[in-house]
Amino acid sequence: MEKETNQSLPSDKGRLSELLGEELKIYEKIRKITNEQAELLTKDDIEEFNNSLDKREELIEKIKGLHQESEPLMQSYVSFSSLADENKDSAIEGLKKKIRKALEDCAKLNDKNIKAMQNKTEEHAKKIDEQSAKRKGIGGYAQNITSSPEMFDKKT
């Protein structure tokens, strides 16, 4: 039975390599979108920022679908390659490293975007507070002005 697993693994390696390659392409798209989000935050283009979040979510859903197929293959590959180092596939190992790097980059960019968004939120909250304070000040002056209907109904 072990022989059958070893014989079927090379084709599984090919499929695993394909799936990891597709996954890497999607992660690179996510990295690009996440990087663009920083620019959108700088421009205060919230509508486009929200659209990019939706695009990124769609890509994440694609990755989840790929994981459903690749996970059993990866488990088989890991257990097979742990038997001997010569069973490790350099292409798969390279793809795993590139995916890990893309994930790390995305996480760093995302953290940076979250901080930028928090700063923007604080800026907007300060502006709202300032406007509220100005409005209260104007309200004080408005109370001193008489608003009799005669003043407004007179034709001059």
The residue length of the chain stands at 156
Asked if the model's pLDDT at residue 31 lies above 80, the reply is: yes
Return the pLDDT at 8: 46
pLDDT digits (tens, 9 = 90+) for 99-132: 999 999 999 999 999 998 898 888 878 888 788 7
pLDDT digits (tens, 9 = 90+) for 64-107: 999 899 999 888 888 877 766 666 788 899 999 999 999 999 99
Class of domain 2-143: mainly alpha
Asked if the model's pLDDT at residue 3 lies above 80, the reply is: no
Return the pLDDT at 24: 96
Burial class (CB in 10 A: 0-12, 13-18, 19+), 155: exposed
Average pLDDT of span 122-151: 69
Nearest to 91, CA basis, from 81, 103, 104: 81
Binned at pLDDT 50, 70 and 90, residue 42 comes out as confident
When the pLDDT of each residue in the chain is averaged and rounded to a whole number, the result is: 82
Average pLDDT of span 25-46: 92
- What residue ranges do the domains of the chain occupy? 2-143
Return the pLDDT at 106: 93
Return the pLDDT at 2: 40
Average pLDDT of span 36-63: 92
Return the pLDDT at 117: 87
Distance of CA 148 to CAs 18, 55, 139, 151, Å? 80, 57, 17, 6
Q: Provide the 10 A C-beta neighbour count for residue 109.
A: 19
Return the pLDDT at 46: 85
